[in-house]
Amino acid sequence: MLVVSHINSYYDKSHILHDLSFCVKQGELVTLLGRNGAGKSTTLHSILGLVPRVDGDISFNGNSILGLHTHEIASKGICLIPEQRDIFQILTVEENLQLSVKKGSPWEIKDIYRLFPRLEERKKNGGGQLSGGEQQMLAMARALLNNPKILFCDEPSEGLAPVIVKEIVDILREIKKSGIPILLVEQNLRVCEVLADRHYILEQGQFVYECSQADFFSEEAEKMKTKYLEV
């Protein structure tokens, strides 16, 4: 459903992504792995129209989206949970959620509280008073209320304690089960190993390896992980 074909992305004169091609199919969870600075966020941002120059083609459900404005791309149901989590610090949890409620979405606030009981406990708290894990949950919850057709998660486990990471993994699994495909950028391999269908490893803006989940523990994959990831 999401097909990225031979994209090259540039910030001014810096050529960041080199001829990247990949896809995310219906119901899949696909990971983009790679060291800091490899170009993972730039890949997500290129799809969303947030990078000044992108050549190649990107299509979603059969229609080219390259060159559209970010709001047009978002309105097709492509939803990014950014690395910085982008929540309103001065609003309460419930107010943050209410702002994202969308007519016609199968997700309502009551569904959100079922999936994220912690957010219900904290609903009267301000966004700025939440822990990192709770902020990540709130960002995920807001994305779901938007009725995404595909979800991009940029390093959701970054900076979180292992017990919270486990909760985030469970939530991602539930989201996947609900049928929403996910493109997941992660540095934490444990998270990727338990969730994904396929993996791509990025190094200096190019794919150096791709494999299915079944091959992710093969001798070759282990070599690639050692060479290109911080394991």
Ligand X SMILES: Nc1ncnc2c1ncn2[C@@H]1O[C@H](COP(=O)(O)OP(=O)(O)O)[C@@H](O)[C@H]1O
Q: Rule CB under 6 A: is residue 16 a binding residue for ligand X? A: yes
Residue selected from 4, 39, 58, 85 as contacting ligand X according to rule CB under 6 A: 39
For residues 183 and 60, the answer to whether their CB atoms sit within 8 Å is no
Closest contact distance (angstroms) between CB of 37 and ligand X is: 4
Which region, judged by CB under 6 A, interacts with ligand X, from 18-26, 29-37, 115-123, 168-176?
A: 29-37
Closest contact distance (angstroms) between CB of 50 and ligand X is: 9
Q: What part of residues 103-132 is at the interface with Mg ion (CB under 5 A)?
A: none
Contacts of 156 (CB under 8 A, 6+ apart): 81, 136, 140, 168, 172, 184, 186, 191
Q: Rule CB under 6 A: is residue 183 a binding residue for ligand X? A: no
Of the two residues 47 and 144, which places its CB atom closer to ligand X in the complex? 47
Closest contact distance (angstroms) between CB of 201 and ligand X is: 11
Residue 180 amino acid letter: I
Q: Which does 29 bind (CB under 5 to 8 A by kind): Mg ion, ligand X, none?
A: none
Q: With contacts defined by CB under 6 A, how many residues of the chain interact with ligand X?
A: 11
Q: Rule CB under 6 A: is residue 14 a binding residue for ligand X? A: yes
CA distances to 182, 189, 206 from 231, in Å: 23, 8, 20
Q: Rule CB under 6 A: is residue 34 a binding residue for ligand X? A: yes
Report helix, strand or coil for 52: coil
Site string for Mg ion, 1-40 (x = CB under 5 A): ---------------------------------------x
Q: Rule CB under 5 A: is residue 41 a binding residue for Mg ion? A: yes
Closest contact distance (angstroms) between CB of 206 and ligand X is: 12
Residue 15 amino acid letter: H
Length of the chain: 231
Cα 133 to Cα 215: distance, rounded to the nearest angstrom: 31
Residue selected from 29, 30, 40, 157 as contacting ligand X according to rule CB under 6 A: 40
CA distances to 2, 9, 21, 59 from 5, in Å: 10, 12, 4, 8
Phi, then psi, of 144 in degrees rounded to 5: -65, -40
